[in-house]
Amino acid sequence: MISHGIIGDIRSLVYDIVTLTFSALSRFIPKDAHKILFFSVPDYSDNAKYVYDKMLGSGFGETHQLIWCVYSPINANHVFRRSREYIFHALTAKYIISTHGTPAWKSKN
């Protein structure tokens, strides 16, 4: 039987490999200056929601693509976390507004 420690070590290694791969890939993918992603815990809440509401009220919704990354559907433009669409938008968005940090693999550019 495989111990929980070994399983945890394997998961950690896989996570590190995926993070490094996406981080390297992210450096070469052009960023869209008109795309802004929003993250919060729980979904669609906290300061990120207030920034989003203010941006919508200021007309950013007409000039920028405002996208929420969520686990459950919401009444706003959104993608589900860990989906292909989420990865695409996270790799191509120039800006991320988050209450709990950005994806570990997001490049600094």
Q: In this structure, which topology does domain 4-98 adopt according to CATH?
A: Rossmann fold (3.40.50)
* Residue among 66, 74, 75, 81 at smallest CA distance from 32: 66
Distance CA 84, CA 89 (A): 9
pLDDT tens digits for range 41-100? 899 999 999 999 999 999 999 999 999 999 999 999 999 998 999 989 989 999 999 988
Helix locations, 1-109, DSSP H: 4-28, 46-57, 60-63, 84-92
pLDDT of residue 108: 63
pLDDT of residue 8: 82
pLDDT of residue 107: 59
pTM over 0.85: no
pLDDT of residue 100: 83
Q: Is the peptide bond before 103 cis (omega within 30 degrees of 0)?
A: no
